Structure 1
Amino acid sequence: MLRASDLTRCRHRIHRAATLPRGVALPEESGSVAQRREAAADHREQVRARLSEDHRRHNPRETWAEDVHGEALAAADPAARPDRVWNARLPRELDTLRAGGVDLLIRDDDRGGYIPVIVVNHKVTDPGSGAATSPMGAWAPRADPHRKMRGQTRDQVRLAHVTRMLERLGLASPARMGGAIGYDADCIVAYDLGGPGGILEQYDARYADRQAVARGLVDTAPARVAECASCPFWHDLTGPDGRTVDGCGTVLRERHDVSLVATGHRGTMLRAAGIGTIDRLAAWQGRGPDEWHGGGFDDTVVSARAWLVDEPLVRRGPRVTVPRADVEVDVDMESYQEHGAYLWGTLVTDDGADLGYRPFVTWDPVPTDDEARSFAEFWTWLMRLRDGALAEGRTFAAYCYSQNAENKWLLGSATRFQGYPAIPSVDEVRGFIESDHWVDIFEYVGENFVSPRGRGLKVLARFAGFDWRDDDAGGEASMAWYREAVGFDGDAPALDQRTRVLEYNEDDVRATKALREWMSDEAADEVPSVDDLPVPGEAELRAIEAALG
């Protein structure tokens, strides 16, 4: 069966699922996937509770129903159908392969039928104008002067999928509209699904293709895309007879497939240019093919050459440079989804002396006003340290690894808590992050190295000899620890998990320090340069490609 989520997934994944031999068990979903699923379920439940309570208070004459089967809804007298249906369970369509359900159905009193509304755990609007939105308690879409729509293809596909299933039951509104309640849950974003070339027509073409794949009528081939990181078919599987079912990763490595170093649309462009193997890409000389767009072609060639000799890091030039200072502060922030930043971890180095780790934290579940207190304390401390160093004629630098997350919460906290004690202005924060005192080590890694295996801190800090104390350390895992640490699910706060979060955060700032110091002192001697990598010749290429078939 095909659910709406399948329509925005890799086509080959659908083929693998449809042709999986009997008895082959798929691995359990990763902790990060399970956590995202749980967070989405929590969000839906919060929205359900709010909507049902608001409906009871403000619309007592209208009816609210939950967990209704689509067949029962279709069989009911139209006049007796509920005005709102939460968690409508739609029947599987064995002939079309469609399966799915919908979070909320809102009765369209003007035209008959229902408007489908989905609840998603991501943002569906941004500040601006041009979106059509409706109040949460009613279906009354109108132009919104304060919001612009985010282009969420997966949401549009899901609404179209449900609409086709409602049409089959005779329950769809002829308005051909749908809605989405996003993370902020402050409105319903309205989508017009109909019209020539509109969402429904695009969905129909996409669905016909995926349906053909599922039925084995269309051939597909593996290629590495972002989805592979969480796909159960990437790794080898084992059947009940002990036989190995090769995963896509194994197949691609055996073929030296170019998508291993040029994922997604870049791999597609290279194939269009006749470059299907890593070897052929590694041998490329001169400017990139005409089909290549978006920059970075030279780095992709270097990555191919590095892959052939299993080199995980390559130096661009003879020297490695990264800013250093008399007083250095490594900073790492921890947030919980979009709720807030609950921890700012710091590590001070003064003229080479490690002065230790200091966290600024709130253990009140975010969002909370206590977040303003911990952020203000962190900011006041950091600015005093900076101003004190500069007043003494010494240099100062604060470091983070990939500033996008830290900048988001620096600016976001200053905006949200404006007027609270010791909270800086947005202009003050922006001035700091745009100054030379705020250094993103991620950017300097990119300026100095080509990293075929990615530029993640967990990957690169190990070149500096650093490792994390916790084998499960990672952003997704830390969110699970945080839930237990603050009793997010109603349990008593787990003090051991607070320690685990703090140790993870401390290891992150120490990893940043270790990496930048290694870059300053040893990297140029230890990491091979671009010029050190071998380039396959034409005769070697022909031999390799003959062996690969």
Structure 2
Amino acid sequence: MLMKLISGSMLYDAVHCPHRVSMDVFEDPGLRDDPSPFLEMLWEQGWNHEFKVIERMGDGVLNLFALETAEKEVRTLEAIKNRVPLIYAGRIQHGDLVGEPDLLFLRGDAYVAGDIKSGSGFDGEESSGKLKKHYAVQVAHYTNILELLSFSDGTKSAVILDGGYKQVPYALAAPQGMRNKTTWWELYLETLQYIRQLLDRSETSRAALSAQCGHCHWRRRCDEVLREVDDLTLIAELGRAKRDAMFATFPNVASLAACDPASYISGAKTSFAGIGPDTLQKYRARAILLTQPDAKPYFREPVELPLSEIEVFFDIEDDPMRGICYLHGFVERRGGANGTERYIACIASEPTPAAEAVAFRSAWEYLMGFDGAARVYYYSKYERTAWKKLAERYPEVCSIDDVDALFLKEWMVDLLYDVVSKTEWPVNNRSIKTLAKYLGFRWRDSNPSGAASIEWYDQWVQTGSAEVRQRILDYNEDDCRATRVLLDGLRKIAGY
């Protein structure tokens, strides 16, 4: 039997979804979904960014990209023995471990592995210094192979070259955080051991519904399985870890719906690690909604949704690959009459800071022009976060404090955190698309998603197509109208 090799990409995937690793090895490849245009765009942009990085490094890079697997490994070992200072697209292997690090840097008499990423090397703001788990285990894998081959200095150090061409050190022997003292290296070893157990079938994995599923090539297959077994992760906000904590007692949604939660509650704790009494009660209530054929959404507590002569529904679109917020869309309604609606689009004419600033100024002046005479609705904190970043980049438009002050206004309403958080719905998640579709709204586009809109924007930048531009605007307008549909639906549920 051929030895099953463990690659860096398997470590990367295992952090997001260990079941994907198992599916990739054991499931019929014919059941995979085709990659979406968005994914294909990401791959293309990733390669283009990688090639730009190598071009910036000059002639001192040994480029092995075009070689076949066997020759690539031979040439990599030769280059290491000859102390070539920088190796691109090499291949290293020891036992069942194989890695293809983007870069191998010679530091003194040893090599350090590096990977090129088109995004940030940090998880969240750079100031936090928090590393990305999936990046950490991937470069730790390469570092482990280097150590086993005696090509490393043993310091367990690696590098991420991020989208800004900056080297981000990954100190893998350091703890993951102030509270989590487990080191990145220990996380890697735990993940590696779990993958080995998956591959030798001494451990099994289960599918789980999560935000990571959207672009996975097993999405439809896993969705079928999850619904067949009535998996607990079909409950909104109940993830893999909490599912696993309850699985022995509640193997499916129906069993949780039928239980008496009091039997599992003792004071401020429950029988399930990481799940408190209120959370258990919440999950059970959602399970009941999913098992009742005619279940209806309801409010858990009273919420005021006052009428306003002018209502504005707000949504933005951005391209994280280019780091630009290119569209601020508003649907304005007067007197509660849908027939009065008009769409206002503040769109950057090109992917440049100057055009981004113009679009931001137009959007800022539009909202400030109401001077509190309108109620403005948006969904989630994303708009506020994006506008604060824009204010930091373009202080001539407004300050960060100005943005904070705006979003603290009583007439600025985050429907997700201010209202939907106080409701329960017979659905699997609380995305605006899921809730609006439940209420009967339909997007004009056959493939409406934020990811798809990024791919459309890339098309528009490259081609200047008026048709693609209009597709983006239609999608954003529909997102704004979906927010209006949700507001009207919430008012109806509340009995207005």
1:274-423 maps to which residues of 2 (within 5 A)? 274-287=249-262, 288=265, 289-291=270-272, 292-293=274-275, 295-310=278-293, 313-317=296-300, 321-337=304-320, 339-353=323-337, 354-365=340-351, 367-386=352-371, 389=373, 396-402=374-380, 404-419=381-396, 423=397
Q: 1:149 offset after TM fit, Å?
A: 1.7
Q: CA deviation at 1:147?
A: 4.2
Aligned residue pairs, count: 464
Q: TM-score, normalised by structure 1?
A: 0.76
Residue in 2 that maps onto 1:509: 480
**Does the aligned pair in 2 maintain the 1:74–1:171 contact within 8 Å?**
no
- CA contact under 8 A between 1:343 and 1:362: conserved in structure 2? yes
The alpha-carbon deviation at position 515 of structure 1 amounts to 2.0
| TM-superposed deviation, 1:506 | 1.0
Distance 1:103 1:276, change over 3 A: same
Q: CA deviation at 1:374?
A: 1.4
- The 1:345/1:174 distance shift into structure 2, 3 A limit, reads same
Superposed CA deviations along residues 154-188 of structure 1, whole A, max 9, x for unmatched, are 11111111122334544334433111123343342
1:59 maps to none
Contact (CA 8 Å) 2:31, 2:218: kept in 1 or not?
Answer: no
| Cα offset, 1:33, TM superposition | 3.5
CA distance in 2, matches of 1:446, 1:215: 43
Alignment deviations for residues 301-360 of structure 1 (CA, whole Å, 9 cap, x no partner): 112112212457521359664243222111111111161211111122232352511111
Question: Does the alignment pair 1:11 with 2:15?
Answer: no
Q: Cα–Cα, structure 1 residues 228 and 76, in superposed 2: closer, same or farther, change >3 Å?
A: closer
Distance 1:207 1:161 in 2: 8
Q: Could you state the TM-score of these two structures normalised by the residue count of structure 2?
A: 0.84
C-alpha contact (below 8 Å) 2:8/2:100 kept by paired residues:
no
Q: Distance in 2 between matches of 1:455 and 1:198?
A: 34
In the alignment, the residues of structure 2 paired with residue 127 and residue 409 of structure 1 have an alpha-carbon distance, to the nearest angstrom, of 13
Structure 2 partner of 1:38: 44
Aligned with residue 176 of structure 1, among 156, 159, 179:
156
1:118 corresponds to 2:115: yes
For 1:14-413, list aligned pairs within 5 A.
14-20=21-27, 24-50=30-56, 52-53=57-58, 63-67=60-64, 69-76=72-79, 78=81, 80-88=82-90, 90-91=91-92, 95-96=95-96, 98-109=97-108, 112-125=109-122, 147-193=127-173, 198-235=183-220, 247-261=221-235, 262-271=238-247, 274-287=249-262, 288=265, 289-291=270-272, 292-293=274-275, 295-310=278-293, 313-317=296-300, 321-337=304-320, 339-353=323-337, 354-365=340-351, 367-386=352-371, 389=373, 396-402=374-380, 404-413=381-390
One-letter amino acid of the counterpart of residue 365, structure 2: T
Deviation, 1:25, is: 4.7
- Kindly report structure 1 stretches of 4+ aligned residues shifted beyond 6 Å: 194-197
| Cα 1:113–1:71 shift into 2, 3 Å | farther
Q: Measure how far apart 1:213 and its partner are.
A: 1.5
Q: Report the identity percentage.
A: 22
Distance 1:427 1:225, change over 3 A: closer
Gaps of 5+ in 2: 66-71, 176-180
The 5 A counterparts of 1:398-547 are 398-402=376-380, 404-419=381-396, 423-443=397-417, 444-487=419-462, 492-520=463-491, 522-524=492-494
Q: Say if 1:201 and 1:341 are closer, same or farther in 2 by CA, change over 3 A.
A: closer
Paired AA for residue 400 in structure 1: Y
Deviations 1:232-288 (A, max 9, x none): 4453xxxxxxxxxxx44444434333333233111122225x222322211233455
| Aligned amino acid, residue 84 of structure 1 | L
Pick closer, same or farther for the CA change 1:469–1:281 going to 2, 3 Å: same
Shift of 1:225: 4.7
Query: SS state of the match for residue 364, structure 1?
Result: coil
Q: Which amino acid aligns with 1:67?
A: L
My pick for the range that moved more, 442-451 or 296-305, is 442-451
1:464 to 1:33, Cα distance in 2 relative to 1, 3 A:
same
5+ unaligned residues in a row in structure 1: which ranges?
57-62, 129-145, 236-246, 390-395, 527-549
Change (3 A) 1:30 1:3: farther
How many angstroms does 1:451 deviate by? 4.7
SS in 1 for 2:327: strand
Q: Which stretch shifts more, 294-303 or 503-512?
A: 294-303
- Name the CA shift for 1:502/1:297 in 2 (closer, same or farther; >3 Å): same
Distance 1:202 1:498 in 2: 44
Helix, strand or coil: the match of 1:459?
helix
SS at match of 2:370: helix
* Letter aligned with residue 472 of structure 1: N
Distance 1:152 1:382 in 2: 36
Distance 1:311 1:300, change over 3 A: farther
Q: CA RMSD in A?
A: 3.0
Tell me the secondary structure at the aligned position of residue 275 of structure 2: coil
